[in-house]
Amino acid sequence: MIDKTLFKEFVEEYNDDKIDESSIQIFTTRVKVFLVNSKDEVLIATSGGGCQLPGGHIEEGEGILQGIVREIEEETGIVLNYDEIIGQFYKVKYLQKNYQNTGKNRLSQVIYFLVRTDKQPNLSNFNLTENEKINNFDIRYISFADFTNFVEQFITPNQKEINYIIAKEMLKVYLYLVKIIK
């Protein structure tokens, strides 16, 4: 069992334009989940030539935990209980000035959580987006021991930039997680 009091959230911030958070007009939050079973395997998704953790955008008016439960059910078919959500341990914040030439500043954050469950993916409960369907979204368990090698195969010079960025971030967060749970 993991002692939740050992969780200390790490925050990484990218703010090249030195934007003050009080000037932010657009806020987006995504959650990403290290869903780990009792065999110390991590559920990981592949899609569009890249890999990712299950998760997604928090919808307007939705709480973070509600969003985790909804996203995990949509992408894996697993219906989580709140007590399976161990905790938030890493946050990446991106502050962008004049986001997409709208004249508005944006804060986009990705919050990483650890979830422990032995529930298995249920294909009949999947609710994938059209983009996920087109890009052959698939999920599988990878052992903790093989996680780095699996993700590194998506960090190549010919990889799409977004897939490269996601894989690099996943590895960084994974290494932090290993430190706090071992």
Residue ranges of domains in the chain, CATH in brackets: 4-181 (3.90.79.10)
pLDDT on residue 3: 46
User: What does the block give as tokens for 40?
Assistant: 């110390």
Q: Quick one: which of 36, 179, 177 has its CA closest to 116? A: 36
- Which pLDDT tens digit goes with each residue over 9-52? 788 888 888 999 899 999 999 999 999 999 999 999 998 889 99
Q: Please tell me the pTM assigned to this model.
A: 0.88
State the amino acid at position 78 in one-letter form. I
Report the Cα–Cα distance between both ends of the chain, in Å, rounded. Answer: 11
Beta bridge partners of 93: 13, 109
